């Protein structure tokens, strides 16, 4: 059951993390509209391979941080700061006006290698999944066994690819709803990260 939870947590956390319009999912939509769905899915698959590796590295690194008693308190404080910053970030995204993502595609571009290179630039994924796994572990919802780390990363792979698939295949049908989804889901995510941040601050204060 723990293995199933690890996979589901990875899927849920990754899905929430990339559902709002951003460079990668909007690029998948742009490729689908201009080059076709097959090329968009190739781009998405390549991008998600990098995300899988990033999530694995992030969680594997978090394993050693969690096992070190000298840095545990520091990591908890660091994770709290991260969730506070995430809360501010998502509130800001929810309040600001929607901006078009300017994406230019060359005629002879390779969707697979373009997905690899563009996804590699997103280094925010590593600390995001590291902090997420540490937060789950602090609540006894995740352990850093190698099988659970792999399944968590596979869940991340599935969740991110699902989002990119939605943008690639159904973007035309949901295009008019993107602004609504972006504005409202940011506030929902901000509420969730804010709750985690406040609970972590409370624990730090009472310890």
Digit-coded pLDDT (tens) for 154-173 = 999 999 999 999 999 887 76
Q: What mean pLDDT is reported for the chain? A: 81
Other C-beta atoms closer than 10 Å to the C-beta of 182 total 17
Asked if residue 147 has pLDDT above 90, the reply is yes
Residue 186 pLDDT class (50, 70, 90 cuts): low
Give the count of beta carbons closer than 10 Å to the beta carbon of residue 155: 24
| 83 neighbors 197 (Cβ within 8 angstroms) | yes
Q: What is the predicted pLDDT for the residue at 22?
A: 78
Q: Is the pLDDT of residue 182 over 60?
A: no
- Residue 91 Cα to chain centre, angstroms: 17
Whole-number Å distance between alpha carbons of 33 and 64: 44
Cβ–Cβ < 8 Å for 117, 46: no
Whether the pLDDT of residue 183 is over 60: the answer is no
Q: What is the DSSP string of the chain?
A: -HHHHHHHHHHHHHHHHH-S--HHHHHHHHHHHHH-HHHHHHHHHHHHHHHHHHHHHHHHHHHHHHH-TTTHHHHHHHHHHHHHHHHHHHHHHHHSPP--------TT--HHHHHHHHHHT-TTHHHHHHHHHHHHHHTTS----HHHHHHHHHHHHHHHHHHHHHHHHHHHHHGGGHHHHHHHHHHHHHHHHHHHHHHHHHHHHH-
pLDDT tens sequence across 104-139: 666 677 889 999 999 999 878 888 898 888 878 877
pLDDT > 90: percent of the chain = 34
Q: Choose from 49-53, 86-90, 93-97 the range with maximum mean pLDDT.
A: 49-53
Mean pLDDT of 39-49: 95
d(CA 96, CA 63) in angstroms, rounded, equals: 36
Structure token digits, residue 103: 């994406």
Place of tokens 């596979």: 154
Output Rg (C-alpha) for the chain, integer angstroms: 18
**Hunting for tokens 């919802």 — which residue is that?**
141
Selected residue with higher pLDDT from 134 and 97: 134
pLDDT confidence of residue 198: 79
Is a pLDDT exceeding 80 seen at residue 37? yes
pLDDT for res 63: 85
Q: What is the pLDDT of residue 19?
A: 82
Flag whether pLDDT at 76 surpasses 70.
no
Tell me, what's the pLDDT at 87? Answer: 77
pLDDT computed for residue 7 by the predictor: 96
């Amino acid at each position: 059951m723990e293995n199933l939870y690890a996979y589901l947590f990875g899927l849920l956390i990754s899905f929430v993390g990339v559902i709002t319009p951003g460079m990668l999912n909007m690029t998948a939509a742009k490729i689908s509209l201009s080059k076709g769905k097959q090329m968009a899915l190739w781009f998405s698959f390549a991008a998600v391979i990098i995300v899988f590796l990033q999530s694995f590295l992030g969680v594997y690194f978090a394993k050693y941080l969690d096992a070190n008693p000298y840095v545990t308190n520091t990591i908890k404080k660091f994770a709290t700061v991260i969730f506070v910053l995430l809360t501010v970030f998502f509130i800001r995204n929810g309040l600001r006006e929607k901006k078009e993502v300017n994406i230019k595609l060359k005629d002879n571009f390779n969707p697979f290698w373009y997905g690899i290179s563009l996804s590699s630039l997103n280094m925010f994924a590593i600390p995001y999944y590291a902090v997420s796994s540490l937060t789950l572990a602090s609540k006894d919802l995740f352990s850093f066994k190698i099988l659970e780390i792999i399944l968590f990363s596979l869940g991340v792979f599935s969740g991110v690819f699902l989002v990119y698939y939605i943008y690639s295949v159904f973007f035309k049908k949901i295009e008019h709803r993107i602004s609504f989804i972006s504005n409202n889901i940011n506030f929902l995510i901000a509420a969730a990260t804010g709750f985690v941040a406040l609970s972590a601050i409370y624990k730090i204060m009472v310890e």
